[in-house]
Structure 1
Amino acid sequence: MASEILIPFIVFSCIFGIVYLYLTTRNKERMALIEKGADATLFNSGKKFGVGEVVLNFAFLAIGIGVGVLMGALLEQGGMDSDVSYPACIFIFAGLGLVTSFFINRKLSKSE
């Protein structure tokens, strides 16, 4: 009974702790750089993703998961154990979808 409440509490508190630690450490680093007189453009060095790129990533991921479920079902009908076929195909095709999305995003960013 207690594990049903305790496990989600521990998981969410660990996630919260990691995010909190990351954000506070980043803030302290930035404040230290500002105090030493560093240029503020250091904080904007990373590439920002647009909404279109994020949607494209999720779309290819969803397509990959859908194809993985379909291939897992086909392999199960062919005689493979469902405990192996479904997760293997889902992870393989989701990964292929993300790799495809990466190359398409790179191609689109070069053309701009």
Structure 2
Amino acid sequence: MQFRTTNKLIIMQTEQLIGLVIGGVAVVGGLAIGGIAIAVSVPWAMKEKLAKLDIRNKERMAMLEKGVDPTIIFKESKGVGQDPMLWGLLLAGMGLGIFLGYMLYLITKWDRIVLTNSLGVLFSGIGLIIFSLYHKASGDQHA
């Protein structure tokens, strides 16, 4: 009888050990795949960026040789996503919506998560609409 109890204990420990080994192999394999992806993609992206920079430089040099001003074509333009006003209005709207959702939760005792998330999204959208109107109005004035 004593032998059977020890045998079950050994089998249970062996199964736990196998489970730990499988989990460890899965974690190490996942990290290895991520590391390989980064090790391959970073140099590839750098090569692509350097090739584009080289082509752009050659185009500018050819334009200068022909007497054309390259600043006419190669204007550095900021994208809309780089405007600090966009991010300010978006985050302020989100914060205001979450705050008002929480205040509404304290008053009405409705579902807190639904209120904070929905009002956060609503006020973020309102912030983006305000930015769109501001961007359109300031673009018309500069033109």
Using the size of structure 1 for normalisation, the TM-score is: 0.56
2:99 equivalent to 1:99 = no
**Aligned residue pairs: how many?**
98
Q: Which runs of 5+ in 2 are unaligned?
A: 1-23, 56-71
Q: How does 1:1-112 map to 2 (within 5 A)?
A: 2=27, 48-49=78-79, 54-77=83-106, 78-112=108-142
Aligned-residue Cα RMSD (Å) equals: 4.1
* Cα distance in 2 between the residues matched to 1:59 and 1:66: 10
CA offsets, 1:65-100, max 9 Å, x none?
111111111121122111211110111101110111
Shift of 1:50: 7.0
Shift of 1:58: 0.5
Structure 1 residue runs of 4 or more that deviate by more than 2 Å after TM superposition: 41-44, 47-51
* Cα distance in 1 between the residues matched to 2:80 and 2:92: 20
